[in-house]
């Protein structure tokens, strides 16, 4: 009998606490801003470039948004390219031709930024288009 009274008291307490926490005026949650780079806004070619960018670990140094803040960036010298940087700070420029030159040849003075020529021209063009997208967004 005593156990039953304790269980009923416990149940009533939990139920009361639930009502207390869920009743009353609440602030409406603030609307979240739409993501800048949602999958729906990317062309299929740029979306494929994003996939290749992630699969090949480019984001480890350059970060998910191209800000040069990937997980490995802190330990690198020189620091990875921030794709948002002005054009004059890019070794080969933020154009498709310049990005393809970097992807094909690497940066000779930077042993971390090696050539990705092994991926082939088609994949490199898609990665370059994604890098341009990151530069512009």
**Mind listing the domains of the chain with CATH numbers?**
44-136 (1.10.760.10)
> What is the spatial distance between Cα 4 and Cα 24, in angstroms, rounded to a whole number?
31
Range of lowest pLDDT (52-56, 95-99, 111-115): 111-115
What is the C-alpha separation between 71 and 55, in angstroms, rounded?
15
DSSP secondary structure string for all residues of 80-120: PP-TTS-GGGSSS-SSHHHHHHHHHH-BTTBTTS---GGG-
Among 13-17, 55-59, 121-125, 126-130, where is mean pLDDT lowest?
13-17
In angstroms, the CA 136 to CA 132 distance is: 6
Mean pLDDT of 35-44: 64
Q: What is the value of pTM for the model shown?
A: 0.69
Give percent of the chain above pLDDT 90.
Answer: 59
Split at pLDDT 50, 70, 90, the class of 39 is: very low
Phi then psi for residue 18, to 5 deg, are: -65, -45
């Amino acid at each position: 009998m005593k156990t039953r009274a304790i269980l009923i008291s416990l149940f009533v307490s939990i139920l009361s606490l639930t009502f207390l926490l869920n009743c009353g005026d609440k602030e409406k949650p603030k609307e979240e801003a739409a993501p800048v780079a949602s999958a729906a806004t990317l062309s299929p070619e740029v979306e494929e470039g994003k996939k290749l960018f992630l699969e090949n670990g480019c984001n480890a140094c350059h970060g998910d948004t191209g800000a040069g803040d990937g997980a490995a960036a802190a330990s690198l010298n020189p620091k990875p390219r921030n794709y948002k940087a002005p054009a004059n700070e890019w070794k080969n420029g933020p154009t498709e031709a310049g990005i393809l030159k970097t992807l094909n040849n690497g940066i000779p003075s930077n042993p971390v930024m090696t050539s990705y020529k092994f991926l082939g021209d088609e994949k490199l063009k898609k990665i370059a288009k994604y890098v341009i997208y990151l530069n512009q967004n």
